[in-house]
Structure 1
């Protein structure tokens, strides 16, 4: 790629994103995808010895085969679980269809049932890419779920839900069980780490996290003894440790969640302000 207008989708994608990659262009050269020609004149004009400017990028034969796969068939936006979760998805299915906000060159085909390595097979020796780890998908378990929600070791509540209740229902019953006003934002941090991206948040959250009102408890993939955090009111940071106490797959569904067991007196929500 030089001064000529790219004629293919792959060329247009590369032209739009590589102009400011600087030394990252060399990383892909080292991987064998292309060969870079340094723009020495531009470097001298900018008087910058620490920045690499590419005057020309010539895609290798290997790059010609690999780039359409990396940019279209197996685009990172569709296949990277962490990236999709940061954008607000929770139960990410790699390869499933994304909307247009990630660019016009994404495949409009649902590729989630395909092995990730499938388009790469012809680029490598026979059977070299066949021995990969299987993808485990979370199972949706019906029944009743009981959680122990602890503010301290001596102040906790056991709450029971049906599989179809949402994580927003979960929030509502926690607030009710601890006699708090429901007038603040909240988040569940599923990895047990405060402010991590592994988060299910209030429906009116402004940070693009997974919407608690759209996620049913059965869809989270809970297992017994799993622990995670619930933070309510980002100013005061009321922090609760939650443990999955029991999952009864054979129990009948219940209409409303309820408090099964109570230990300790709940503190006043705004005691520090009075």
Structure 2
């Protein structure tokens, strides 16, 4: 039995990709599960495949969950084809050319988008359990990116997607203020005035001493002449 080999690239960085082999009779749900496993995502959100043309334009939608099958008003107005369920559709049903393309979208609130292209048709190996990731290139991005925004600023979809990492609130440490006793005795106002008076007397005595020294110096100069 034939095996399809698909290259699954991250849309925002095509240097990150996984090559996956899947049997022609296996379903899109099995394809979805191996993509989740190969990129180490948690497989907890809605997802959908879209049959694509050579320009990555989305066509027929193949969705993961039954509750996503009904068309909304906008899709009805645009005459969109009825959605199909991954578990019910085999891969071979939508292989129309040797390089068939699909667009895969996971977590509709965040829109993780992958571009898928068939790169080879090989023979099935009895020793391999399919589907299987046969090549990994590039480090897969973290599924949940931290957003530093207030919770009320996030849309309900983003908040439910688990993107908000609320910082832990630390309790404020209680500051204890202590009254420090210096042990110094208070200085009375009378003592202050007394000290000021003594300083004044000292200044007067210093002035007289300076005048006497100046007189002596002048006298000595006259004697020299």
| Greater relative contact order structure (CA < 8 Å, 6+ sep) | 2
Contact 2:69 2:84 (C-alpha < 8 Å) held by counterparts? no
Note the residue ranges of structure 1 that are not aligned, 5 or more in a row.
Answer: 1-141
1:193 alignment partner in structure 2? 57
Give the one of 210, 215, 225 matched to 2:99.
225
Q: TM-score, normalised by structure 2?
A: 0.53
Contact 1:175 1:181 (C-alpha < 8 Å) held by counterparts? yes
Contact 1:222 1:244 (C-alpha < 8 Å) held by counterparts? no
2:179 alignment partner in structure 1? none
For residues 265 and 211 of structure 1, the distance between their equivalents in structure 2, rounded to whole angstroms, comes to 30
Give the one of 68, 74, 93 matched to 1:206.
68
Alignment of 1:159-178 (within 5 A): 159-178=20-39
> What whole-Å deviation, never above 9, does each CA across 1:238-266 have from its counterpart, x for those lacking one?
00000001112x43565431111011000
2:170 alignment partner in structure 1? none
Q: TM-score, normalised by structure 1?
A: 0.44
For residues 206 and 227 of structure 1, the distance between their equivalents in structure 2, rounded to whole angstroms, comes to 22
Note the residue ranges of structure 2 that are not aligned, 5 or more in a row.
Answer: 71-82, 147-162, 166-225
Instruction: Please give the root-mean-square deviation of Cα atoms over the aligned residues, in Å.
Output: 1.8
Q: Which has the larger radius of gyration?
A: 2
- SS in structure 1 at match of 2:68: coil
Contact 1:230 1:242 (C-alpha < 8 Å) held by counterparts? yes
